[in-house]
Amino acid sequence: MSQDSRVRVRIRVNGDVHEHEVEPRLLLVQYLRDVLGLTGTHVGCDTSHCGACTVLLDGEAVKSCTVLAVQADGGEVTTIEGLAQHGRLHPLQEAFWEHHGLQCGYCTPGMIMSALDLLNRHPDPDEETIRRGLEGNLCRCTGYQNIVRAVQAAAARMRAAEAAAAAGGGDD
C-alpha cells in the first residue's frame, strides 16, 4: 500500500451516513470541518489538551483532533450541530445561554459535548464532579464558574424531564 492510498470510511454523523475516501492522516475533526462542513467543532490546540474539538463518538466524548477519521470508520458521531432536536435547544444549550456559560464561544461546543457525556454518566453531579468532569476542556473567558452553574441547571432540568417522562407526562 502506498502512502497516498486513500481509505474508504463510512461514518454516521448526527444521524446521517457519510461515505468518503480519505487520506489516512485525516483527523476526525478535519473530516467533520473540512469534508462535511460541520464547523461547529473547533480546533484550539495541537496537543490534545484544550477539548474544543470534543464530539461524541459512539456515545462517548472524545477529542476529535486525536482520532483519525479511519479510526472512526463505522462509528456514530454526534457534534454540537446535532444536539438541538426539531429546532429545540438541548437543555445544556439552554442552560449555557441562561447562565452566561460562554463569552467568546470558541470552547463552547466542546464544553457542551463534554458536559453531555458527564451528565450521561452522572445525572446529578455535585460541583466537584462537574469540575473534574470538565478537566479536558479549557476555557479562557469564564473562569468556569458559570459553566459549572449551567451544567448544574441543565442536570436539574434533564432529571425533571426524565421524571416527567417516567410519570407518563413525556411530551414528544
Partner 1 sequence: MIPAAFAYHRASSVDEAVRLLQELGDDARVLAGGHSLLPAMKLRLARPGAVVDIGRIEGLRGIRRQVDHVEVGALTRHADLAAARLPAGLEALAECADRIADPQVRRRGTIGGSLCHADPSADWPAAVLALEGQLVLVGPGGERVVPAAEWFVAPFMTALQPGEILTAIRFPVPQARSGSAYLKLARKASDFAIVGAAARVTVDGSGRCTGAAVGVTGVGDVPYRATAVEDLLVGRVLDDQVIAEAAARAVEGVDPVSDVHAGAEYRAQVAQVYVRRAVQEALGRALSQPA
Partner 2 sequence: MALPIEPRPAQPGRVLGRVVRRKEDPRLITGTGSYVDDLRLPGMLHMAVVRSPHAHARITGIDTGRARSMPGVRAVITGEEVKDLCGPMPVGWSLQGLKAPVKYPLALDRVRHVGEAVAVVVAESPAAAADGAEAVQVGYEPLPAVTDPEAAMQDGSPLVWDDVPNNIAARFPLSGGDIEDAFRKADRVVKLRLVNQRLVPVPMEPRGVVAQAHPISGELTLWSSTQIPHILHALLPGLLNVPETRVRIVAPDVGGGFGCKLNLYAEEILAGALSLKLGRPVKWIERRSEHFMATIHGRDQINHVEAAVSGDGRILGIRARIIADIGAYHQLLTPAIPTFTPFMMSGVYAIPALDVEVIEVFTNKTPTDAYRGAGRPEATYLLERLVDTVARELGLDPVEVRRRNFIKADQFPYNTVSGLTYDSGDYEGALNKLLEKIDYEGFRRQQQEARQQGRLLGIGFSTYVEICGLAPSRIWGALGAGIGGWESATVRISPAGRVTVVTGTSPHGQGHQTSWSQIVAETLGVNYEDVEVLHGDTAVAPHGLDTYGSRSAAVGGTAVYMASVKLREKARRIAAHVLEATVDDVEFQVVDGQGRFHVKGAPQRHVTLAQVAAAAFTAHNLPDDVEPGMEATVFYDPTNFTYPFGAHACIVEVDPEDGRVKILRYVAVDDCGNVINPQLVEGQVHGGLAQGIAQALYEGVVYDEQGQLLTASLTDYAVPTAADLPSFETDRTVTPSPTNPLGVKGVGEAGTIGSTPCVVNAVIDALAHLGVRHIDMPLRPSRVWAAIQQAKASGGGQPA
Question: Which part of the chain contacts partner 1 (CB under 8 A), choosing from 68-76, 83-91, 150-158, 159-167?
Answer: 68-76
- Using CB under 8 A as the binding rule, the residues of this chain from 144 to 163 that contact partner 1 are none
The number of angstroms, rounded, from the C-alpha of 53 to the middle of its chain's C-alpha atoms is: 8
- Kindly state the smallest distance separating residue 20's Cβ from partner 1, in Å: 14
Q: For 163, how many CA atoms within 13 A lie in the half-sphere containing its CB? A: 8
Which of 46, 126, 171, 172 binds partner 2 (CB under 8 A)? It is 46
- Kindly state the smallest distance separating residue 59's Cβ from partner 1, in Å: 10
- Kindly state the smallest distance separating residue 36's Cβ from partner 2, in Å: 12
Burial of 64 (0-12, 13-18, 19+ CB in 10 A): buried
Does 13 help bind partner 1 (rule: CB under 8 A)?
no
Q: Identify which of 152, 20, 46 has the alpha carbon closest to the alpha carbon of residue 98.
A: 152
Does 132 help bind partner 1 (rule: CB under 8 A)?
yes
The dihedral built from the CA positions of residue 116, 122, 124 and 128, taken in this order, carries a sign that is negative
Secondary structure element (H or E) that encloses residue 26, with its range: none
Q: CA–CA separation, 87 vs 1, rounded Å?
A: 45
Strand 60-63 with 7-13, pairing:
unpaired
Contacts to partner 1 by CB under 8 A: 1-5, 7, 23-25, 27, 30, 43, 46-49, 51, 54, 60-63, 65-68, 70-71, 114, 117-118, 132-133, 135-137
Contacts to partner 2 by CB under 8 A: 23, 25, 33, 37-47, 49-50, 52, 79-81, 83-84, 89, 93, 96-98, 100, 102-109, 112, 127, 130-132, 134-148
